[in-house]
Structure 1
């Protein structure tokens, strides 16, 4: 066995330059649901100015309230309001650094949009991609909710392979049912940001296009060449898409690792996702809306895909990371990669393994070791690591 891959990086090792976004200032921790409560208030404010419908706010805040009630640890954990300004200042620094990192790629995507808009715009807005994507997500999430509740209520004795029931949040029937319900309702909140990313980006591009009078159909000399410009732009888009994809992985890695290294940001933004020490499919949405805002807008070139393809791609991307989490002896290594992050906390921060290998946080173990009851040898995480992960995820509350 390759012992270099089998031994996780220790938490106290300083990260290499560029692995995290540097932050100035400090703040104390305040509770893992702070950012969800902030998001709930922000959604109400958006509805008050007419940016979103009140029915959507009622659904979002209703799901948030049910999620809070289902997790008793939330009610027992004090939320320090005085810490929130400092936490938001730290979050704003991450957001600003990510935005600066993304700006050149947004500028290039906007230039591509100018050539594609006369043809692509009707395809994206014929049916709202938010309604499509959120509707498809809800159908899939309802399916998994019903499936899991059926297994937990009526086939608990056979649920070991499905849930690895002796693991953390799924170790008893009651805790498993509670976690599945909690993940369903709370996950419906953050997914609003993911599902609206294409609509918001295209709407912003379209506003700039009209404001700057860059609509090709309004220029007589260019109007007759719209289709030629469109196909030329598509060729450029396809030829450069892979290069535009590279910063997406890096920005996600840096944001994710920064949230782990900065304890106030972990407490207020990211820790909610780590409630699922052994995540289910429904945990793909249990991410703070504030974190979604940073990780879902870093692929501007992808926003130009017609909404049917965007919908399918987003669903595959979201669920693939958690699909094998109930049976780690699987061929799908991407899901295994993220599952080990949930188990060991300080490894495998990236969407793919490339950034982890580059910055020294990559870890893998043989599939049979991951599914064994008590792993041993160099691949086994120390007991103190397992206890620390449980504490960080709130399992000791």
Structure 2
């Protein structure tokens, strides 16, 4: 995030200035709050582990489920490959429901989620500007409580990669101009319009929250000053 902020400042500063936004100040604020969010995300690992020890005591181990357990590495790789799509789909489904709740409940939006939407034109470090409540709502899933750490981590890592991409306004605007679809333009439009596009395209289609990007014009970014 530090490297991106430094490299993109000259490119983005004229656009942010035209919107009355101090980009340097936003970068500092966003980075500081993201560090708080990252600290909670690290603590979440400990919290999830503690909760899983309490909840999953009756869940059989993989060795019990597979009495012929002789090649643990092979089995582990197979199970991770099988579970990762489930972890991604389940995690994003929970995120969609939680995100919808945060937007539909005026009290929750103004007291909790509004801070995240201060980033109308998001930069990657805005991906972490969430409160502990928001992290818990969309990241503590049934799989994280009932499955071992190594089982659900790849799915979460995939989600986090797209989450960061979705907070890159510069990339999202480029995709919008080219008529492309992807995490960047999808979530960028959610921030700039503060409506719709609550998670991923399939779920947004299912719940009727998909925005028609073909009817939205890309932003014109002024050229950097020499």
**Is the pair's TM-score, using the shorter chain for normalization, greater than 0.5?**
yes
The answer (yes or no) to whether the contact 2:165–2:184 under 8 Å persists in 1 is yes
- Unpaired runs of 5+ residues, structure 1, are 1-140, 374-397
The alpha-carbon distance between structure 1 residues 200 and 310, as it changes in their structure 2 partners (threshold 3 A), is farther
- Tell me, in whole angstroms, the C-alpha distance in 2 between the residues paired with 1:280 and 1:239: 33
- Tell me, in whole angstroms, the C-alpha distance in 1 between the residues paired with 2:59 and 2:16: 59
Report the secondary structure of 1:279's partner residue. Answer: coil
- Tell me, in whole angstroms, the C-alpha distance in 2 between the residues paired with 1:269 and 1:233: 39
Counterpart in the other structure of 1:316:
161
* 1:293 matches 2:136: yes
Report the secondary structure of 2:113's partner residue. Answer: helix
Report the secondary structure of 2:174's partner residue. Answer: coil
- Superposed CA deviations along residues 302-351 of structure 1, whole A, max 9, x for unmatched, are 843486x578546523321113x12412356211000110111121111x
Q: What is the correspondence of 1:319-338 to structure 2 with a 5 Å cutoff?
A: 319-323=164-168, 325-327=169-171, 328-330=173-175, 333-338=182-187
Report the secondary structure of 2:218's partner residue. Answer: helix
Flag the structure with larger Rg.
1
Counterpart in the other structure of 1:379:
none
* 1:282 matches 2:131: no
Residue 289 of structure 1, CA deviation: 1.5
Counterpart in the other structure of 1:364:
212
- Unpaired runs of 5+ residues, structure 2, are 222-226
The answer (yes or no) to whether the contact 1:274–1:342 under 8 Å persists in 2 is yes
The answer (yes or no) to whether the contact 1:145–1:181 under 8 Å persists in 2 is no
Counterpart in the other structure of 1:201:
48
Q: Name the count of aligned residue pairs.
A: 212
- Tell me, in whole angstroms, the C-alpha distance in 2 between the residues paired with 1:197 and 1:212: 22
Counterpart in the other structure of 2:193:
344
The answer (yes or no) to whether the contact 1:279–1:322 under 8 Å persists in 2 is yes
The answer (yes or no) to whether the contact 1:191–1:289 under 8 Å persists in 2 is no
Residue 261 of structure 1, CA deviation: 1.0
Q: What is the correspondence of 1:1-397 to structure 2 with a 5 Å cutoff?
A: 141-147=1-7, 151=9, 155=10, 159-160=11-12, 164-165=15-16, 168=19, 171-172=20-21, 175-206=22-53, 226-228=69-71, 231-232=74-75, 235-236=78-79, 238-298=81-141, 300=144, 303-305=149-151, 313=158, 316-323=161-168, 325-327=169-171, 328-330=173-175, 333-350=182-199, 352-366=200-214, 369-372=217-220
- Tell me, in whole angstroms, the C-alpha distance in 2 between the residues paired with 1:246 and 1:271: 26
The alpha-carbon distance between structure 1 residues 264 and 202, as it changes in their structure 2 partners (threshold 3 A), is same
Q: TM-score, normalised by structure 1?
A: 0.45
Task: Report the RMSD for the aligned CA atoms in angstroms.
Answer: 3.7
Residue 367 of structure 1, CA deviation: 9.5
- Tell me, in whole angstroms, the C-alpha distance in 1 between the residues paired with 2:152 and 2:68: 21
- Tell me, in whole angstroms, the C-alpha distance in 2 between the residues paired with 1:241 and 1:333: 20
- Tell me, in whole angstroms, the C-alpha distance in 2 between the residues paired with 1:276 and 1:370: 17
